[in-house]
Chain A
């Protein structure tokens, strides 16, 4: 190996370091999903994962990775295995009848009914007179 141009690497003496025994599964710990909040009161939004041994360090890593540039007031870390979710292949469970106006304010034309009532009243009075 030619001598490194990096003084820190020269000091590390790479040749003397042990040969790699390879990383074991899980050696980089488990993953935490990170949720980012950009102002007080705003919803936390999923931004990615970090690998960490515990929630405290997950937050430390998340601060570096997801809070170092854009505006951040808070982060949540949730162990990935603690997230419960539907399968996307079951998406059809969310589809309902096409006409959902019974769920909307606009589905209740109250004023129309009142106007008809008032009109009919007036007609009736007029016919009595």
Chain B
């Protein structure tokens, strides 16, 4: 999964401080010229403080989303309906944790330790994709997540893979390769229910209704306000597409696949304007989006408690294995 399509903006003060930092104009011009030429920025290259900060936030939040995203799906590993589905789900969840690992590694090249990132996740300081604060109630939820949430993640991650920071792009390349398996196995589970018995179809429809509104429509975040700030992030190839562009791309690719099976989506306004090619839809409740991001969702507490439990209860193992003369360093790549 789980492109963290929406990146929670920083506190206004921190953003102002970093943005107002004076950078050497000559170095800045060379940096921007390199990005304009399509070159990648590597860890030991000069970069503006604001670029480093924004990338770190983005990659870190993406990593957290992968790790936390394994939890709602992991819920169903013990109860997968067949051995093959169980094997697929275990493999997918392992991939997601692996994605978290690859992304933490990419973030580490920018100078923040993995321990510090996990501390910020557990304390609630650092965010992750809102969608994982909703519960996976039935097996059909797993089909919907594997199909639609991973599809959304692919839209986001393919866009980001064309960004300017080398280590992030390389991590995303491998991630996107694995996502195609996630999407296909999710679609397969989705179709199995859609062409199944009336009870299976009903179960799938119920899951679709719950996941479409609000989580899936929240997934890419609210339409961006076009500011000098977002304009700069796009010029630096940190942000590669607007939230609305990604949402339109997602709807265009996947809504027809849902309708084809005779399933419905709980939005009577959802339709494509054939003249403009733009999809119209009902705006989801964005107040709820911000409430959930700030901790007040159905599963926020459980997700973080599980993460904290794992770290606390794994500590004695890590300590027992600790090499007392280890040397810490920022990895080269």
Contacts and interface: CB of A to CB of B under 8 A. Distances in A.
Contacts of A48: 102, 105, 171
B59 interface: no
Contacts of B74: 6
Contacts of A49: 105, 108, 331
A26 interface: yes
Most B-side CB within 10 Å, residue of A24, A29, A79: A29
A87 B327 CA distance: 20
A12 B318 CA distance: 20
A9 B298 CA distance: 16
Given A18-B312, A20-B308, A53 B321 contact: yes
B122 A29 contact: no
B178 A69 contact: yes
Contacts of B108: 31, 49
A103 interface: no
B114 A20 contact: no
Nearest to B315: A27
A85 interface: yes
A14 B303 CA distance: 10
A1 B305 contact: yes
Given A22-B119, A31-B329, A88-B44, A9 B302 contact: yes
A27 B115 contact: yes
B322 A53 contact: yes
A66 to B, nearest CB: 9
Interface residues on A, range: 35 or more
Contact of B327 (A12, A23, A30): A30
B329 A65 contact: no
A29 B317 CA distance: 12
B313 interface: yes
A25 B329 contact: no
Contacts of B295: none
Contacts of A20: 122-123, 308, 311-312
Contact of B329 (A9, A14, A22, A80): A80
Contact of A17 (B105, B118, B308, B326): B308
B298 A24 contact: no
Given A14-B306, A23-B119, A25-B113, A8 B78 contact: yes
B332 A85 contact: yes
A27 B332 contact: no
A89 interface: yes
A29 B308 contact: no
Contact of B332 (A12, A25, A33, A51): A33
Most A-side CB within 10 Å, residue of B42, B116, B322: B322
B328 interface: yes
Nearest to B170: A48
B313 A29 contact: no
B34 interface: no
Nearest to B301: A1
Contacts of A19: 308
B67 to A, nearest CB: 13
Contacts of A123: none
Nearest to B178: A69
Contacts of B75: 4-6, 9
Contacts of B78: 7-8
B94 interface: yes
Nearest to A57: B321
Nearest to B105: A49
Interface in A24-58: 24-31, 33, 46, 48-51, 53-54, 57
26 contacts: A5-B136, A5-B137, A6-B71, A6-B74, A6-B75, A7-B78, A9-B302, A9-B306, A12-B309, A14-B309, A17-B308, A17-B312, A19-B308, A28-B113, A29-B318, A29-B321, A29-B322, A30-B327, A31-B108, A31-B329, A46-B333, A51-B114, A57-B321, A80-B329, A85-B332, A88-B42
